[in-house]
Homo-oligomer: A and B are copies of this chain.
């Protein structure tokens, strides 16, 4: 039996007789034969692997994104190579290099980056890639993000409806385009909703819980503390929760808090965080879908997709005037409510 016939039989090509095919397939399983993906990759110049780069694999929002990517990767017979950068630019470059060396077919970047020359070079070399959740100044050909403007506006509106005018805003890291978009919307909201225009009410944070705690302490040390805090993401909001507890401040009685992302923990009864929901799985899938068309060399129908967001109202927000009642837990609402 010839080598090429075996190859054809196994890969389901049509140039082979049914009898031969069956015999080949049979002996293949009998011998436990499995074709080498690495030899195939070398020959085909295609690895059927796609790299996924995130700056924090421990972020509770991450798994949902991956899930979406995985959904379409599976359909396309591709494997995921998950890498995390720890937010370190050097690690990011190293990881991207590794991914490149392994000749992944493309990559999904959930990790921010600016115009580092190494990255420019890596991405400029024809490697298909799509940006998820973070956009870059230089490369944003293919981008999947969320409607931050709508989400932020809904959140601010919600606070304003509850009588808040003095709102502390924690902005995310400057490298994150998403964070910057939200900041821009917040700044527009100040005049639009008649909020207090105190520059002390914008705290430069990152996406961590620690940063949320620091923000709360800073805000509360102000002569006139805010009555509500808009966090840069849910982790951040959790940090606010913790620091508030340390100071004996009750949420939402003394202080309202809104997050961003809607990570699984947010819906726990103990947390009940009002937050802006992102369709993370859908976003991941959209990103992967985009990447796949790129890999196949087709021109994608759309190159930027902005996923809808929605405000999920739980129990971390309340009326601004409630600050006087001494922190007695109010009645838990039976169900979550939603707002657009």
Contacts and interface: CB of A to CB of B under 8 A. Distances in A.
Interface of A: 32, 34-39, 41-42, 47, 49, 57-58, 60, 63-64, 66-67, 70, 79-84, 97-98, 100-103, 121, 125, 238, 241-242, 245-246, 264-265, 268-271, 329, 332
Given A101-B34, A121-B32, A245 B332 contact: yes
A49 B49 CA distance: 13
Given A57-B66, A270-B245, A97 B42 contact: no
A245 B269 contact: yes
Contact of A38 (B47, B82, B271): B47
30 contacts: A32-B121, A34-B97, A34-B100, A34-B101, A35-B101, A36-B42, A37-B101, A38-B38, A38-B41, A38-B42, A38-B102, A57-B63, A57-B66, A58-B64, A58-B67, A60-B60, A80-B82, A80-B83, A81-B81, A81-B82, A238-B270, A242-B268, A242-B269, A245-B269, A245-B270, A245-B332, A246-B269, A268-B271, A270-B270, A329-B329
Contacts of A121: 32
Contacts of A35: 101
B264 A241 contact: no
A34 B37 CA distance: 20
A143 to B, nearest CB: 24
Contacts of A271: 268, 270-271
